[in-house]
Amino acid sequence: MNALRPIVCSLALLCLAGCTPREDRTGLRRRAVSPASQNGWARVPLDGEAQRSATQLWLGDADGHSIPFELERDGLWTSRALELDKVLTGRDPKNQPSVQFRLRFPEGWQVRQREHLHLELELEGASPWVCRAEVERRLDGGDFLRLERESPLHLYDLTFSGSKRNLTIPWDAREYRVTLIPTQGQAPSIRGLKVIAATQPEALQSDEVLEPSVTPLSRIGRVDAAAGEAWRLELPGLERIVGAEVVVKAPVAPVQPHFYLPLKTAQEEGASTYLAQSGLVWNLPALDTRASRMTLGPLLTDRLELSLPEGVRLDHVKLLVRRDVLLFPAEAGRVYYLHEGGRVRRAPGNLGTLPDSSGALYARSPLRLGPGEADPQGLPRLIEAGERTRPWLPWAAGLAVAVLGLFAWRLFTAKNEA
């Protein structure tokens, strides 16, 4: 029996060790942030690596004290309706609906006090119609300059397929002119408009354009009965998707693609959630017009589902990615670190309650993230007893059974010898 005592003691010590939480520092990393040149708001765009762990990041100074920060989001800077001067509505020399207006600034405001202008147009006309919106602007005096974009701005009213009657444009001038150029149907008349100054990060250009792998859903056992065809779009890893470039084969009049987010739980295999989206796509070479840009999310995912109406043929699709941007109050020349992995060290207070203008923020160059390194100031993740014992529990149980079996066998042989 004495020979069993070391085994029993070892098993007891192993169980006692499993009951004590242990610190895990293997995932702790930090990255230096390039110093700010002056005091004030600073912004740090997150790259793909930092974006994928955005919920586990915290910002600290050289001493490891947590610094408050915000992630750039719609509505982070309070929107404000602007009064207008010299509003002129009518038609241009080509008989196209047009509106010209001049902004009246609130006291202390100037151009780019918010990053964008949101134009809500009051339109009157018989649907269906689709119009390209041509935007021109100028500062005090001078000529109007056209707003050039990668993809044109469109307004539309397709009765049963929805409508879009507002525009979001950069705020880089004081006076604007908007002209509606019909691409389908007859352009509506402009009866009035409302202008709201806002910061809308998703209206900015995408940081990256990715080509997903495209698989017809019929090949994996599911077809969307409400659409002509459907596809699954997959990326190698999680990305923050804000839009899609859907190119269809000609000829196709304006149609509404639909995007869905597949559900991954075992109970909901094959199910999906419809995503809010805006934009139409078409391809009409005879009229020299095409549109392909869709707005989504933003949402963090590695897969989507796309469906198109019956008869529409997909040429190719790309997904538009925009990273989160970290905003924080920076002191000139001071060293800051972005920490990831482990537990988050919370900063005191609520930075979002401070009013400020996005004009000064966007006028400065963004700060940059340096290479990763070991993090001596990170908070390690605690591995609880249940989590630690789970991997070796079957081995411990097997050892316990073996010990008890050996103990029973020794008792049996000792009884027989007696």
Domain span at residue 336 reads 23-71+325-381
Do 94 and 152 share a structural domain? yes
In the listed set 147, 182, 203, which residue is the last one of a domain according to the structure?
Answer: 203
pLDDT of residue 298: 84
Do 290 and 356 share a structural domain? no
Is residue 103 over pLDDT 60?
A: yes
> How would residue 417 be classed by pLDDT, with cut points 50, 70 and 90?
low
Is residue 316 over pLDDT 70?
A: yes
Q: Is residue 259 part of a domain?
A: yes
Do 317 and 214 share a structural domain? yes
Q: Is residue 230 part of a domain?
A: yes
Is residue 373 over pLDDT 50?
A: yes
Q: Round to whole Å and give the CA distance between 244 and 108.
A: 39
CATH number at residue 308: 2.60.120.260
pLDDT of residue 408: 64
Do 64 and 116 share a structural domain? no
pLDDT of residue 219: 47
pLDDT of residue 238: 86
The token duo for 376 is: 């001596």
The token duo for 98 is: 């047009």
Amino acid at 177: R
Tell me the whole-structure pTM to 2 decimals.
0.68
pLDDT of residue 199: 77
Q: Is residue 220 part of a domain?
A: yes
DSSP per residue, 159-195: GGG-EE-EEEEE---SEEEEEEEEEES-PPEEEEEEE
Average pLDDT across the chain, whole number: 83
Do 264 and 162 share a structural domain? no
Average pLDDT score over residue span 167-187: 93
pLDDT of residue 74: 60
Do 368 and 309 share a structural domain? no
Q: Round to whole Å and give the CA distance between 242 and 26.
A: 33
In the listed set 150, 185, 203, which residue is the last one of a domain according to the structure?
Answer: 203
| Pair 256, 162: CB distance under 8 Å | yes
> How would residue 156 be classed by pLDDT, with cut points 50, 70 and 90?
very high
> How would residue 27 be classed by pLDDT, with cut points 50, 70 and 90?
confident
pLDDT of residue 86: 87
Q: Name, in order, each residue with C-beta under 8 angstroms of 93's C-beta and a sequence gap of 6 or more.
A: none
In the listed set 306, 321, 336, which residue is the last one of a domain according to the structure?
Answer: 321
Q: For residue 243, give the nearest of 345, 320, 162, 159 by alpha carbon.
A: 320
The token duo for 100 is: 């010209």
The pLDDT > 90 percentage for the chain reads: 47
Q: Is residue 232 part of a domain?
A: yes
What does the DSSP 8-state code read for residue 63?
T
- 8 three-state secondary structure: helix
pLDDT tens across 238-252, in order?
888 989 999 999 999
Do 174 and 92 share a structural domain? yes
The token duo for 95 is: 């008989």
pLDDT of residue 354: 72
Do 194 and 108 share a structural domain? yes
Do 199 and 86 share a structural domain? yes
Residue of higher predicted confidence among 264 and 126: 126
Q: What angle do CA 112, 114, 118 make, to 5 degrees?
A: 105
Name 154's bridge partners.
132
pLDDT of residue 273: 86
Average pLDDT score over residue span 188-196: 95
Q: Round to whole Å and give the CA distance between 144 and 69.
A: 39
pLDDT tens across 379-416, in order?
888 776 555 555 555 655 566 556 666 666 666 576 66
Do 369 and 290 share a structural domain? no
Average pLDDT score over residue span 260-267: 70
User: Which of 156-170, 366-380, 403-417 has maximum average pLDDT?
Assistant: 366-380
The total of structural domains in the chain comes to: 3
Do 167 and 213 share a structural domain? no
Do 291 and 190 share a structural domain? no
Average pLDDT score over residue span 280-305: 89
Q: Name, in order, each residue with C-beta under 8 angstroms of 109's C-beta and a sequence gap of 6 or more.
A: none
CATH number at residue 141: 2.60.120
In degrees rounded to 5, what are phi and psi of residue 45?
-65, 135
pLDDT of residue 100: 96
pLDDT of residue 223: 46
Q: Is residue 387 part of a domain?
A: no
pLDDT tens across 265-290, in order?
544 455 778 887 778 899 999 988 88
pLDDT tens across 206-237, in order?
888 999 999 998 744 444 445 578 999 999 98
pLDDT tens across 77-102, in order?
778 899 998 899 999 999 999 999 99
User: Which of 16-25, 101-110, 405-414 has maximum average pLDDT?
Assistant: 101-110
pLDDT of residue 287: 84
In degrees rounded to 5, what are phi and psi of residue 306?
-125, 135
| Pair 86, 138: CB distance under 8 Å | no
Q: Is residue 373 part of a domain?
A: yes
* Count of Cβ atoms closer than 10 Å to residue 296 Cβ: 21
Residue with tokens 């402009």: 190
Q: Is residue 347 part of a domain?
A: yes
